[in-house]
Amino acid sequence: MKKINTFTLAITCIAVFGMAACSSEPTDMTEAGIIPKPVSVTSSGETFTLSKHTDIFPEEGSEEAARIGQFLADKLNPSTGLGLAVVSGRGKPGRGDILLELAGGDVELGDEGYELTVTARLLKITANTPAGLFYGIQTVRQLLPARVEMADKQEGPWEIPTGTIRDYPVYSYRGAMRDVARHFFGVEDIKTFIDQMAAYKMNVLHMHLSDDQGWRIEIKSWPDLALHGGMTEVGGGEGGFYTQEQYKDIVKYAQDRYITVIPEIDMPGHTNAALASYPELNTEGKSPELYTGIKVGFSTLNTRSETTYKFIDDVIGELASMTPGAYIHIGGDESLVTKHDDYVYFINRVQDIVTAHGKKVLGWDEIALATLKPNTVAQYWARSENAIKCVQQGARVLMSPARFAYLDMKYDSVSTYGLNWAGYIEVDHGYSWDPATLVPEITSENIIGIEAPLWSETVSNLQEAEYLLFPRLLGFAEIGWTPSAMRNWDDYKVRLAGQGKRMKAMGISFYPSTLVNWDHQE
Ligand code: TNX
């Protein structure tokens, strides 16, 4: 029945207006299938159309709004071919234009929210902050046909259903982690991922920069960390590292997309690459060989040597100077060969070092064994008793429960890549949990947000990584953004199906879970 109606409509359209004016695109904004699901969507049943006359008007006097306007133009121009331009400070928006307004004062929208008002005449995004405008733009992308995401020119029309969206996130920390230590991923791969995160309104990229198998960031005062410690990876490949210039480029690229990079140096365990590079960091004063296997828990820095703390002070100092964000991640997981007292002493001293460099500490949940500073955050991955201990000390928690949020777990027993020590995580399982109720003792006031880590023991290139990342990342983005009362799998799986053609258009090699009725048609 629906098909016949659409067909009849199309015929009528062609007869009355000619092809260009008509299409079967939905004009109901509530059916756009946006991920993360917005807080409220009200449809008004008309259509706004982008044309070659469309201009983008950013808030006058705001360079950042102008930059966001340009970001939108650069996203839409290749596929639409419309040559949208940003027209700072000239004239008034007219029919078919886009307005980016920094208003302030709408308390409900907060620091990251936006209101999108689309009429047949005008598309307007209002926000208190540039970040809010940026997220509004990501929503606009999803209101356009999926082919807008293609890199080359596509056929129009470029229509958007009219209505109003008011939208803001539940959590201020919506993160993903990339392990570039087990297998190295170059700058371009990471930038691609940053763009993908931004499309789904995620705002923190945690970079796991060192582990037993590799040290991936140039440290000028200890050059062999990268030069020697970075020269291999799991399986014995050539590894690699980021020069400080390259790392700063990643940080800036992320910052331009409202994503904060949090660097992690994992210690005192997971340090074989550092130990192999400098004998004086070892308890025995002797360096081990580089390591290319995937065992964990066998290495430790010498926690009772001042050389170790000089080393950490130098490393954290160089990292802090390249880190605009508030946090440095100190790892702290699986230090199985570090004695308990040594571990506690070490974590306490490293917290002081990080604080002295003006940053706050993030660490895996084991750090709860130490005396946490009030602004330290523990990342819950394995043991709820650790996370509870952290909350009891007045610190807060970042939720990354391995059995739901680990992107390196296989989807099922026949998955091509991944591990399964925390179980299989099919797309529905990864989506269907609530950070605020998972551990009864940890409530939303204790939680800064959610992060989904991708450990890279089993993946060594972009396509392999994307197989594990997508489509699950979209679910984690939604858990971080959308109120849990508005989320359920049956509704989500239909929206996710619609994202299939978008991910395809963006060039993402996602895992086509059979739980989702993928909609590849455009
Ligand atoms: C546990 S999660 C680890 C990592 C491994 C991961 C593999 C965590 C803090 N430690 O070293 O890569 O499992 O899933």
Residue 23's pLDDT is what?
A: 47
pTM: 0.95
Q: Distance of CA 515 to CAs 19, 264, 412, 415, Å?
A: 37, 35, 12, 14
Nearest CA to ligand 1 atom 6: 455
Collapse the DSSP code of 384 into the 3-class scheme (helix H, G, I; strand E, B; otherwise coil) and give the result: helix
Cα(406) to ligand 1 centroid in Å equals 9
Atom of ligand 1 nearest to the CA of 457: 12
Spatial distance between the Cα atoms of 319 and 263, rounded to a whole number of angstroms? 8
Nearest CA to ligand 1 atom 13: 455
Spatial distance between the Cα atoms of 481 and 165, rounded to a whole number of angstroms? 14
The structure tokens listed for 206 are 């945690």
Spatial distance between the Cα atoms of 5 and 363, rounded to a whole number of angstroms? 57
Spatial distance between the Cα atoms of 74 and 99, rounded to a whole number of angstroms? 16
Cα(265) to ligand 1 centroid in Å equals 14
Q: Is 381 in the pocket of ligand 1 (CB under 6 A)?
A: yes
Q: Is 417 in the pocket of ligand 1 (CB under 6 A)?
A: no
The structure tokens listed for 226 are 């990268």
Neighbours of 184 (CB within 10 A): 23
Q: Probe ligand 1: pick from 296, 404, 406, max atoms within 8 Å of CB?
A: 296
Nearest CA to ligand 1 atom 7: 455
Q: Is 492 in the pocket of ligand 1 (CB under 6 A)?
A: no
Collapse the DSSP code of 11 into the 3-class scheme (helix H, G, I; strand E, B; otherwise coil) and give the result: helix
Atom of ligand 1 nearest to the CA of 455: 12
Residue 14's pLDDT is what?
A: 42
Q: Probe ligand 1: pick from 295, 334, 367, 419, max atoms within 8 Å of CB?
A: 334
The structure tokens listed for 304 are 């009772």
Residue 26's pLDDT is what?
A: 56
Q: Is 333 in the pocket of ligand 1 (CB under 6 A)?
A: yes
Residue 27's pLDDT is what?
A: 84
For 353, counting Cβ atoms within 10 Å of its Cβ (0-12 exposed, 13-18 middle, 19+ buried), the class is buried
Cα(455) to ligand 1 centroid in Å equals 7
Atom of ligand 1 nearest to the CA of 453: 2
301: amino acid identity, one letter: L
Nearest CA to ligand 1 atom 9: 333
Q: Taking the chain (522 residues) in consecutive chunks of 10 residues, what is each chunk's mean pLDDT?
A: 39 42 66 97 97 96 97 98 90 93 94 98 98 98 98 97 98 98 98 98 98 98 98 98 98 98 98 98 97 97 98 98 98 97 98 98 97 96 95 96 98 97 98 97 96 98 98 98 98 97 97 91 47
Residue 25's pLDDT is what?
A: 53
Task: Reply yes or no: is the peptide bond before residue 268 cis, omega within 30 of 0.
Answer: yes
Q: Is 455 in the pocket of ligand 1 (CB under 6 A)?
A: yes
Cα(373) to ligand 1 centroid in Å equals 24
Residue 105's pLDDT is what?
A: 87
Q: Is 296 in the pocket of ligand 1 (CB under 6 A)?
A: yes
- Residues assigned a catalytic role: 334
- Between helix 489-505 and helix 472-481 the angle, nearest 10°, is 120
Atom of ligand 1 nearest to the CA of 179: 12
The structure tokens listed for 412 are 């099922």
Q: For residue 190, what is the enclosing H or E element?
A: helix 187-199
Direct distance between the N- and C-terminal alpha carbons of the chain, in angstroms, rounded to an integer:
20
Closest listed residue to residue 332, CA positions, set 244, 270, 399, 414: 270
Collapse the DSSP code of 490 into the 3-class scheme (helix H, G, I; strand E, B; otherwise coil) and give the result: helix
Nearest CA to ligand 1 atom 4: 455
Backbone φ and ψ of 378, nearest 5°: -105, 135
| DSSP symbol at 160 | E
